[in-house]
Structure 1
């Protein structure tokens, strides 16, 4: 979800602008209630202000309102309403809404399931820099879903997302380097990306990194407790797999 809140001179100024009907102020006021910024968290109040802004065409508010219907925050879960508001924002070019609408199509949440529509909206969001959408586009290319299997395209999109610290993309990019898919095989690069993902808690990357260290019987930076833990868990997993 977008986290933008415009800088206002004061919270009182924001509230006054929202109450006067300014849609951007209404959206930001809703975000305050949604996140507990200057006020206690109150999802019903957040929905109230998101709706006022959304009905005036504010794309960020439309995306937030869709998210509330998707998760049941301040309203009952309503897949159709979630998809409707995501679409309203997505058609205005909001990348978070485009990603969320893609998720709706991939999972059949509030819309008929369609991998084609999912990819369309993931790609739209990915081209606007949304990292999770970039990762998903990479997955579609790697698996050959909807589009022809293309490891180079998969690597391209994984890299875009990985450089924005998307841990699953970092892990998958590491796997591409390990296996030589879409890039020349390069163990050092594989380990580098596994380590980035592992340090963010990605379990697959932690496992792959631990197995690598167990195989080569060499661990850099043993003074780092996180690396010791990864090596230990990976070594244990390797021994268990041999048993």
Structure 2
């Protein structure tokens, strides 16, 4: 699924102060504070890393209707973070997050329908949720929407729209987008064939992948 997490970070004085502030809010019933507290516990920000506590606070936040809490609770269930792995529960919480307008939840829901994770595979529904996510500005959703138009997955094949959404994903910083654009220019998919532009985008793709390693 699309990731929304940073790596564990060494705590600074500000991190500790923020953690204590979130703890106070969370214990007072603030759903956003509960989400932020869960994030701190998951990533060891301002406190010792504790995935079980992260899961517990995400649960409280999610049950209170916080779409980010619902998203990360789904993430925990999907990867077995602080709880037993359960893709069906992951799907249900991603669904709640998506219906709450969370663009990352919408992408995750599209991915679940696309690949049959925790739910029966349904490419039309996958396309619909990718579209919502993409329009909301999620670069993973934009890339996967381009991919769907490119290959006619869950929708009618449309190479011009594929190219447009690959381009949007690149503008949003998506790491897969440059390869998609390179492929379009290389093969004249939704745009005029241009080997020089293809090479430049393939190069950007390669450089991006090397920097991720």
TM-score calculated relative to the size of structure 1: 0.78
Gap change, CA 1:162 and 1:55, over 3 Å in 2? same
Q: Deviations over 1:42-75 (max 9, x none)?
A: 1100011001111110000000000100110111
Superposition map of 1:66-215 within 5 A: 66-201=74-209
> Residue 148 of structure 1: CA displacement?
1.5
Paired position in structure 2 for 1:60? 68
Q: Deviations over 1:49-107 (max 9, x none)?
A: 00111111000000000010011011111111101100001001101111111111112
* Contact 1:161 1:169 (8 Å CA) reproduced: yes
* Contact 1:26 1:50 (8 Å CA) reproduced: yes
Q: Based on CA coordinates, which of the two structures has the bigger radius of gyration? A: 1
Q: Deviations over 1:208-231 (max 9, x none)?
A: xxxxxxxxxxxxxxxxxxxxxxxx
Range moving further from structure 2, 9-18 or 106-115: 9-18
Partner Cα distance (2:17, 2:44) in 1:
18
* Contact 1:30 1:48 (8 Å CA) reproduced: yes
Structure 2 residue runs of 5 or longer lacking an equivalent are 7-14
Q: CA RMSD in A?
A: 1.8
> Residue 41 of structure 1: CA displacement?
1.7
Gap change, CA 1:12 and 1:133, over 3 Å in 2? same
| Number of equivalences | 200
Q: Find the residue that maps to 2:133 and give its secondary structure.
A: helix
Paired position in structure 2 for 1:18? 26
TM-score calculated relative to the size of structure 2: 0.89
Structure 1 residue runs of 5 or longer lacking an equivalent are 203-243
Q: Find the residue that maps to 1:145 and give its secondary structure.
A: coil
Partner Cα distance (1:58, 1:111) in 2:
23
Partner Cα distance (1:71, 1:199) in 2:
29
Partner Cα distance (1:171, 1:152) in 2:
16
